[in-house]
Amino acid sequence: MDQHLVWLLILLVIGVVVSNLMVLKYTSKFKWPTNKDTNEDNSTDKKTPDNETSSGAENNKPSASDRSQ
């Protein structure tokens, strides 16, 4: 009975090691975002005076329903 538990423990350890190696191989294909990428995304969200004037000009254009009347 004692030998069965030893073999079960050995198989369990081998299974854990093999599964961890498989997960590492699978996750190595993923690309993590860098700090440089996140800084560029944040800079495009900020409003500048140029963006405010251009968006204001677009709001003054008549809509399609106004043109038909």
Cα(28)–Cα(43) distance, rounded to whole angstroms? 29
**The pLDDT value given to residue 33:** 81
Quick check: 68 pLDDT over 90? no
Which of residues 67 and 8 earns the better pLDDT score? 8
Cα(47)–Cα(44) distance, rounded to whole angstroms? 8
Give residue-wise pLDDT tens across range 16-57: 999 999 999 999 988 888 887 555 556 555 555 665 555 555
Cα–Cα distances in angstroms (integers) from residue 48 to residues 36, 45, 51, 58, in the given order: 21, 9, 5, 16
Quick check: 14 pLDDT over 60? yes
Q: Which residue has the tokens 């008549």?
A: 62
**The pLDDT value given to residue 34:** 80
**The pLDDT value given to residue 4:** 93
Q: Which residues of 27-56 are buried (b: 16+ CB within 10 A; e: fewer)?
A: eeeeeeeeeeeeeeeeeeeeeeeeeeeeee
